[in-house]
Amino acid sequence: MAQRREEVDVVLIGMGLVGTVLGRELTRAGLRVVGLERGEARDTVPDFQGPAMHDELRYAMRLALMQDASKETITFRHSPRDTALPVRRWGSFLPGSGLGGSMSHWNGQLFRFQDDDFQMYTRTVERYGANFLDPEITIQDWGITAAELEPYFDRWEYLLGVSGKAGNLQGELIPGGNVFEDPRSREYPTPPQKEPYGSAIFRRAALELGYNPYPQPSANLSQPYTNPEGMQLQTCTFCGFCERFGCEHFAKSSPQTILLPVLLADERFELRTGCNVLRINRDSTGRIATGVTYADRSGQEIEQPASLVILGAYAYNNVRMLLLSQIGQPYDPQTATGAVGKNYAYQTMSYPQVFYDESIHINPFMRSGANGTMISDFAGDNFDHGPHGFVGGAYIGEIMTNGRPIGFHPVPPDTPGWGSGWKRAVARHYNHTSVINVHGSSVATRSNYLDLDPTYRDAWGLPLLRMTFDFPENDLRMSAYCTDRAIEIGREMGGQLVTGEPRTGRYDMTEYQTTHNTGGAIMGTDPSTSVVNRYLQSWDVPNLFVIGASAYPQNASYNPTGTLGALAYWAADAIVSQYLPSPGPLVPT
Amino acid sequence: MRRALLLAAAAALLPASVTAQMAPPSGRTPPPVPGPAQTCVACHGPMGAGNQAGGIPRIAGLTQYYSTKQLRSYLDGTRQNAQMEAIARSLSEEDIAVVTAYFAQVDAPAVRAPIPTAPVESNALGRQLAEIGSSNLGVQACNSCHGPGGAGEPPAIPQLAGQDAYYMITTLNAWQAGIRRNDAGAQMTMIARALTPEAIVAVARHYARLPPPPPIPLNQVSPLPSPAERLAALKDRVVAVEAAPATAAITAPRLSPLEWNAADPARGQRILLSAQHGCTGCHTIPGVRGANGIAGPSLAGMARRAFIAGQLPNRADILVAFLQDPPALVPDTGMPNTGLTREEALHVAAYLNTLER
């Protein structure tokens, strides 16, 4: 028999990026809010302090800040014909756990998806014809435009203090910025970070080839900054311990450094950590959420009633929560009916390497998580796809983040796999190699989806999420084309040897690529093909908002977090200005 | 006046012979002190180990990169200190290379300089700030950048362990006030601004009581040209000297705080005005009418000068001893014994200590 807590106005599932933003916006609107986080409380002081934080073995290899796979994991298979098995050791992506969510240990790479990304289906058909897409591709429009989202992108970037250089200021193209971006209303809050040497070599090569290099926008700040909430952030020290680590210097924009302390000081807000939400509860009609049930640290079940439920867990965990709570119709790939779980997508990565002469010192250890120089000439629909027969693209850049001793040891392809030959090659090439990042989009397909596993359960007895995914042919063709472009740039960079393979073959779950899992609870204009409307409100349960990269109908070339923050503010604004005065569906069905 | 009091308080602890206890921890014979480094050890102590009077930093073990940067900062105004500016200006590029290389390698013992007193809670606060940081103040652990135990992160980040407490307080205040601004990322500026006076004292006390780290072996500091390489290239420029003669010869009697406190600048001014001891005949002295002698140097700015007679550290106890019997401390000086008693010398020294300009 679950204990019942006193009813509140809002319950937040998850206290990462989404929980922090929504918690703040809703307490500001006068509501009483409870935030439930299944992980532990974490703060810059004491948890992220050095020198202990700079422990590569503990944090980067043994994943100290990540979810414990022995308690809850996912099962994985490539296609609906296969049997899914539990992921016992994280590889391809690293789900986090803990206050602040994955934004406490991200790299700070922050972009705005382009308008072409939001209207991907319509634009593709307009430009290339209805028959251009492979039949298995199920890309959709988002139901919003970049212009509508611009003030929210701006607000999010100014909350973080992002360091960058605008490429399009109110329609005027600015050389040196990303000239492919949609118009932004004003410049970035802080100037770009310093450009590392390897990235300068990339920039020179890209200019030679006629491309438009620009500094990567960074949420690791270039100078001290006070954000509109009064939070003070500091200058990034280029320590090279960014992704998978917390930042000791208050220099990485994370919930802890940009907003949480303000929220935690608000008496209308209550944080409960160690609370694992088991399901969203509904009334007898099934149309109204009445709150959630969660298990506290001792395993006791507790019911938290609330008038409004914000589901803001990690992207695919949002989908799992809907499935466990039986909200919406689960997607069936055979019949292509249902929407919960459909359009799961990822990211299509490759990494050409440029091996230099020993006179070129790259110093890979002096890096931040989001530094360097890149081009968007081959991202999204920024180039003519007509001759190529694929959709999507990749940004390309020398944006290395670290030279850590265990993880970073680039060697040419013919190097022995172990022994003195390998050691010689590591010593020879460690400080004389640039790795180019080809960060490619991921289209949605009929057979890539999420549902509940029929066999395996987590430590609380609940079915695990089952992920069915493999790279679509479209994305492999895109990767081949973009990797070739990157290798051309690599040659122009003046290396003695340039190597690189595009993404090929089956998806390898054991090799780290990115923690950019999207889709499964997608936003859209049609309730039969999406799970939430354009305000991220559940079509099925109007007092439930599902906010996360789960909303993305497909994944673009850029990293997801910039757009997610904007969507969080966009949804919060819709809740405060439209939903609260008049609760109910915000979009007629 | 406060600085003089601090110096006097420290001098009370000063043993008669300054060099008797100055032996490197390794037990090996210390390397010869290169010529240009004589200027440094006069204030920074033998081997740059620090000044027992307090307030002057230990420079032994600081990397060549860091020391060079600080000297350049004194030249370009991003650090401000009248004595250090003068010294930085007086050193050529080769001198800088030689002295920074010497101090980077020298294995100097710890020097017990004064540490401010504070309530017992300060110990815990200092340790917390060093190792964990403070959520309330919004500062990270000092050791995050300054290394485990404050041992430094060479070459760019200096050690804090064993550093002089009063110097650390002064320098944190300088960061806070923007007087010191040679940190491109403004990390130290922002951290200092977040610290309260209590926190500054706590942190300084914490590190001052830690043993200083040994110098970094040369082959760990790369890829800068090694100090040995630079030294080897400048070998014929390095003058080997047994010990710093001026410092070694100083046997200034102890000056107690009570004595110094009783020293009266007004009486010192009257002594000078009386012309009884002929001061005005040789010196131009601000505030003393008729003192326009040019045989000896002008005493304007005496309070801020680094040296007495061009070679003795300008400390209260030494100044008093010098005034009483100049040739005893500096045999070649042109200043004779003018017959000042100790009491008179105290008053005159107190007056000279008011001459900021």
Calculate how close chain A gets to B192, using CA atoms only, in Å. 12
Helix (H, G, I), strand (E, B) or coil at A412: coil
Partner B contacted by A256 (CB < 8 A)? no
Q: Interface pTM (ipTM) of the complex? A: 0.88
User: Which tokens sit at A224?
Assistant: 């001290």
Per-residue pLDDT band at B224 (split at 50, 70, 90): very low
For residue B168, the one-letter residue type is M
Q: What is the mean pLDDT of chain B?
A: 83
Please, what's the largest Cα pairwise distance for chain A?
Answer: 73
Calculate how close chain A gets to B137, using CA atoms only, in Å. 10
**Mean pLDDT of the region B88-111:** 91
The residues that bridge with A468 in the sheet, in sequence order, are: A77, A449
Determine the pLDDT at residue B5.
45
Size of interface A-B (CB pairs under 8 A): 62
Partner A contacted by B181 (CB < 8 A)? no
Of all residues in chain A, what percent carry a pLDDT higher than 90?
Answer: 98
pLDDT of B12 above 80: no
- Quote the CA–CA distance of A522 and A33 in Å, as a whole number: 25
Partner A contacted by B178 (CB < 8 A)? no
Partner A contacted by B149 (CB < 8 A)? no
For residue A318, the one-letter residue type is N
Q: What is the mean pLDDT of chain A?
A: 97
Which residues of chain B make contact with A249, given a CB cutoff of 8 A? Answer: 140, 144-145, 187
Which residues of chain B make contact with A218, given a CB cutoff of 8 A? Answer: none
Q: Each residue of B152-210: pLDDT tens digit?
A: 998 899 999 999 999 999 999 999 999 999 998 999 999 999 999 999 999 999 999 99
For residue B123, the one-letter residue type is N
Which residue carries 């509860």 as its tokens? Answer: A281
Residue in B with minimal Cα distance to A251: B187
- Quote the CA–CA distance of B284 and A549 in Å, as a whole number: 79
Spatial neighbors of A32 by CB under 8 A, at least 6 apart, are A8, A9, A10, A268, A269
Tell me which residue in B134, B185, B223 faces A235 most closely, judged by beta carbons: B185
C-beta neighbour count of A484 within 10 angstroms: 14
Per-residue pLDDT band at B310 (split at 50, 70, 90): confident
Determine the pLDDT at residue B240.
37
Give the residue among B200, B180, B201, B198 at the shortest CA–CA distance from B189.
B180
Which residue carries 């595009």 as its tokens? Answer: A502
Give the residue among A116, A84, A111 at the shortest CA–CA distance from A382.
A116
Which regions in chain A score pLDDT beneath 50?
none
pLDDT of B237 above 70: no
The CB-side HSE value for A178 (13 A sphere, CA atoms) comes to 29
Partner A contacted by B183 (CB < 8 A)? no
- Which A residues, 324 through 363, put their C-beta within 8 Å of a C-beta on chain B? 361
Cβ of A248 within 8 Å of Cβ of B135? The answer is no
The CB-side HSE value for A341 (13 A sphere, CA atoms) comes to 28
Calculate how close chain B gets to A490, using CA atoms only, in Å. 26
Determine the pLDDT at residue B21.
45
Partner B contacted by A320 (CB < 8 A)? no
pLDDT of B219 above 70: no
pLDDT of B3 above 60: no
Beta strands in A105-213 (DSSP E): 168-169, 172-173
Which residues of chain A make contact with B138, given a CB cutoff of 8 A? Answer: 232, 250
C-beta neighbour count of A574 within 10 angstroms: 19
Decide if B273 contacts B286 (C-beta within 8 A).
no
Per-residue pLDDT band at B1 (split at 50, 70, 90): very low
A249 included as an active-site residue: no
Residue in B with minimal Cα distance to A431: B223
pTM over 0.90: no
User: Which tokens sit at A319?
Assistant: 């989908």
Give the residue among A307, A359, A312, A327 at the shortest CA–CA distance from A527.
A327
Cβ of A44 within 8 Å of Cβ of B133? The answer is yes
- Quote the CA–CA distance of B275 and B348 in Å, as a whole number: 12
Catalytic option among A105, A385, A429, A516: A516
Calculate how close chain B gets to A235, using CA atoms only, in Å. 6
pLDDT of B13 above 80: no
Helix (H, G, I), strand (E, B) or coil at B24: coil
Per-residue pLDDT band at B125 (split at 50, 70, 90): very high
Long-range contacts of B73-78 (CB under 8 A, 24+ apart): B73/B180, B73/B182, B78/B180, B78/B181, B78/B182
Helices (H), chain B: 2-11, 38-44, 64-76, 82-90, 93-105, 121-131, 142-146, 165-177, 187-194, 197-208, 227-233, 245-249, 257-262, 265-273, 279-282, 316-324, 326-329, 342-352
Which residue carries 């200021």 as its tokens? Answer: A169
Calculate how close chain B gets to A97, using CA atoms only, in Å. 22
- Quote the CA–CA distance of B242 and A250 in Å, as a whole number: 50
Determine the pLDDT at residue B231.
58
User: Which tokens sit at A303?
Assistant: 């019911």
Q: Each residue of A238-285: pLDDT tens digit?
A: 999 999 999 999 999 999 999 999 999 999 999 999 999 999 999 999
Give the residue among A518, A496, A352 at the shortest CA–CA distance from A432.
A496
C-alpha angle A187-A192-A195 in degrees, rounded to nearest 5: 155
pLDDT of B9 above 70: no
- Quote the CA–CA distance of A26 and A32 in Å, as a whole number: 8
Which residues of chain B make contact with A237, given a CB cutoff of 8 A? Answer: 145, 185, 187
DSSP codes, A36-67: EESS----HHHHT-TTTT--HIIIIIS-TTB-
- Quote the CA–CA distance of A140 and A336 in Å, as a whole number: 14
Determine the pLDDT at residue B218.
61
Cβ of A45 within 8 Å of Cβ of B141? The answer is yes
Determine the pLDDT at residue A245.
97
- Quote the CA–CA distance of B221 and B36 in Å, as a whole number: 23
Per-residue pLDDT band at B290 (split at 50, 70, 90): confident
Which residues of chain B make contact with A246, given a CB cutoff of 8 A? Answer: none
Per-residue pLDDT band at B19 (split at 50, 70, 90): very low
Calculate how close chain B gets to A442, using CA atoms only, in Å. 38
Cβ of A44 within 8 Å of Cβ of B145? The answer is no
C-beta neighbour count of B156 within 10 angstroms: 11
- Quote the CA–CA distance of A495 and A515 in Å, as a whole number: 30
Which residues of chain A make contact with B176, given a CB cutoff of 8 A? Answer: none
Which residue carries 């045989």 as its tokens? Answer: B295
C-alpha angle A121-A122-A126 in degrees, rounded to nearest 5: 120
User: Which tokens sit at B108?
Assistant: 């100097």
The residues that bridge with A8 in the sheet, in sequence order, are: A306
Q: Each residue of B28-54: pLDDT tens digit?
A: 677 788 888 888 999 999 999 999 888
